[in-house]
Amino acid sequence: MSENVMHISDSEFSELISSSDVPVLVDFWAEWCGPCRMIGPVVEEIAEEYAGKAKICKIDIDEHRDAANQVGVQSIPTVVIFKNGQLEKKWVGVTSKEDITEALDELM
């Protein structure tokens, strides 16, 4: 697991997205979710490539439902990007690394 991926809780979620001076990518996932395991390595690669330029986070929805409810997560994996506390982009299901990095680059 990448040291650049932050595993955050409900209590950390709001503070992190509102106080960050860089884009924040959040991967909502669960251990039992097959597609989540497919996108996990992509999120880790992005965390390595964007170290210092974006915050890359994961939230286990089985343990932290409040953050998922705040964002309206109804299916996983769901990947969202926030900038200045605002939701900028949201993907539901497996998405490509290129789509995610293109969105991050636009927000930098």
Pick the catalytic residue from 8, 33, 39, 57. Answer: 33
Q: Is 57 a catalytic residue?
A: no
Pick the catalytic residue from 16, 36, 57, 73. Answer: 36
Contacts of 3 (CB under 8 A, 6+ apart): none
Q: Is 36 a catalytic residue?
A: yes
Contacts of 28 (CB under 8 A, 6+ apart): 58, 59, 61, 67, 68, 71, 73, 76, 77, 78, 79, 80
Identify the burial level of 95 via C-beta atoms within 10 angstroms of its C-beta, where 0-12 means exposed, 13-18 middle and 19 or more buried. middle
Annotated catalytic residues are 33, 36
